[in-house]
Amino acid sequence: MKLETLNSTHIEQAATIIDEQGIPKNYVWSQYYVVVNGKEYPFKHLVRTAYELATQEQLQFQSNESYRGYVENELGFEFRYYENGYNFFTKEELEFYSSIVNTDYRTSNPAHQYYGQKLYPIIAKAKYWAEQILLDDFKLKQDGNWLNGHIARIKPYFWPRIYSGEDKDVFFNVEINGSNRFIGYKLDGYFETTKALPDYKIKLLEEYKTLIKWEWPQISFDQVDEYNWDRLISETREYIQKYLPHHNHLKELLSKESKIARIAWNTNGWVKPSGLTGKSTNASFENEHGFGHEEWLFDGDKVIDGYKYGFLEPIHKYRSKYEGKYFDLALYTRDSESNKSFWVANLKDVKVLTTEESEKVLAYYKQEGWYDEMKSDLYNLNLDQDQLDLWVEDGAHELLNIKFKATQINDIPEELIPVLDDREIKSNRYTLMDVSPSIMELIEEGSKSGFSFEDSGSEEADLASKSIRTGKKKEIELKLKHNILQAKFLKYLQNKYGKALVKRECTSYGALRIDLTRKTNTGFVFYEIKTYNSLRTSIREGIGQLLEYSLYPNVNEAEGIVLVSHVSPSEEVKNYLNHIKNFINIPFSYIHFDIEQEEIITEI
């Protein structure tokens, strides 16, 4: 037998050489390891090195029971078996990596000669680790370079990544971090490399990580001895299963694009159709039938689990292409009578529905009677309500193709914002178009401009020919939501103060009806319920009514007047409400009542 020339000293000396020189790339994989002085060495490479020491010749052989038996039984060395070909990370190899990390590498320096061979085992084990957690439909991007190529410096970490689809922006990675001395794993995205995400996507990623209380498990080099492959792989897989839904959501979120989308003209705030006025004069569905399917886009009475579902024609045209994607949309509309275009609103995180989602939503609409309400809206305008039935014959996705967080409805600008530069919109067709961040900012800030005498208004009295007014839209109160809120808030007050002390629809001067009235020991409190999408509109409409109920013609019927709405006030609106109270010095307050929870959330 060729190995009979070897003795235990040769094996021990070979182990010392491997400690100094590392392991060539082709010999890193080994199912059998020999234990020498408490450390593990790949059997074939150890024996080849020992044989060359003993004979000055190279040995070519296949690992078999006879050769392994000689080293184990005749020379007295312990064997360990790793079915998949890699022993676990050793503290010695990790500490060596940490000692040279971020240092310059020079081929002319003899001390650097074996850096690669000493790092290959770490790189191979990191790749093996990543392979063990690879999911179906995921791909592996290995990290096999140990130098930052452009500066020939030892990399601070190795981090093989697994990702799905063609987009590698979001991934799971395992990591051996020599700079900070840990091995770890996490869900993440590109930050600092040449493939780094743009700033706005990094912001989205960071905000989402904060939202989900993102975790990054790290095992210090000093704790590696507490682990083996089974434990490490098991814990990594558990993490991936926990974070897989977040990975999938981030993939959708970060693939989001910002686009311009046209919607049909509407003067009812897109709560319900408004008829033929202002509709496109071009050959189109809205021109022929007098309505567009997006005219219910901001109907806050039709909300499912916090989401508003609706229709956009630019999505409809290419729905299969956009299915499952997210968009930030700058909506605009065009009035055919004035031949002017207006910005309507920004909608964030608009998701294009799958056909299955659309079918479920339409079924819910029909179950709740909402679909019939939509048909009634058309009937009341003398429009053909049967067009809805014809439209959905090919599937629910023809009518319902998007969803977005319903709370955004409450932030829609009350006034349409004129498009002052026609070049901002490249086409008046119903297609998605690129939009610059400045346009999104314009819409965001356009509704927040304050009073201006110098830069607004007109000196001319001829409104028809001289003055330019912004587009007007009629705010529509959500009747169903009003009725639900009134009933639930009545019950809430009666439970709190007693049924006999709270009534609805008490009369005031002129046979006007007060939504709710509560009797106290010293007088009465009037409650007016408003359910406009815009809280500012509710305030504008509600305070006037409350003052009239209480004070007209020259009385003081209420010791307190309260506006009640389903909308949570922003900080800006909170300041406004307090300013109103201080400025006109009346016993006025605002209540945000949550319909689902049936409780007061905010009282100002």
pLDDT tens track for 382-396: 999 999 999 999 999
| Confidence band of 194 (pLDDT split at 50, 70, 90) | low
pLDDT of 509 > 80? The answer is: yes
What percent of the chain is predicted at pLDDT more than 90?
Answer: 70
Average pLDDT of 493-499?
95
* pLDDT category of residue 186 using cuts at 50, 70 and 90: very high
Contact (CB, 8 A) for 414 and 537:
yes
Two structure tokens written together for 419: 């498009």
| pLDDT score of 383 | 95
pLDDT digits (tens, 9 = 90+) for 317-368: 888 889 988 999 999 999 998 889 999 999 999 999 999 999 999 999 999 9
pLDDT of residue 470: 47
Res. 588 pLDDT band, cuts 50 70 90: very high
pLDDT tens, position by position, 221-266: 999 999 999 999 999 999 999 999 999 888 888 888 889 999 999 9
Query: Domains in the chain, ordered, with CATH?
Result: 2-87 (no CATH), 94-254 (no CATH), 257-446 (no CATH), 479-603 (3.40.1350)
Question: Residue 144: CB partners within 8 Å, gap ≥ 6?
Answer: 123, 127
What is the reported pLDDT for 467? 35
Q: Which residue has the tokens 């009545």?
A: 490
Q: How far apart are the first and last CA of the chain?
A: 93
The number of C-alpha atoms within 13 Å of 556 and in the hemisphere containing its C-beta is 6
Residue type at position 120: Y
By the 8 A CB rule, do 150 and 135 touch?
no
pLDDT score for 597: 92
pLDDT greater than 80 at residue 80: yes
> How much is the average pLDDT of 289-309?
94
* pLDDT tens digits for range 531-585: 998 899 999 999 999 999 999 999 999 999 999 999 999 999 999 999 998 888 8
**Residue 471, pLDDT above cutoff 90:** no
Residues ≥6 apart with Cβ < 8 Å to 389: none
- Residue 50 pLDDT exceeds 90: yes
575: Cα within 13 Å, side-chain hemisphere: 3
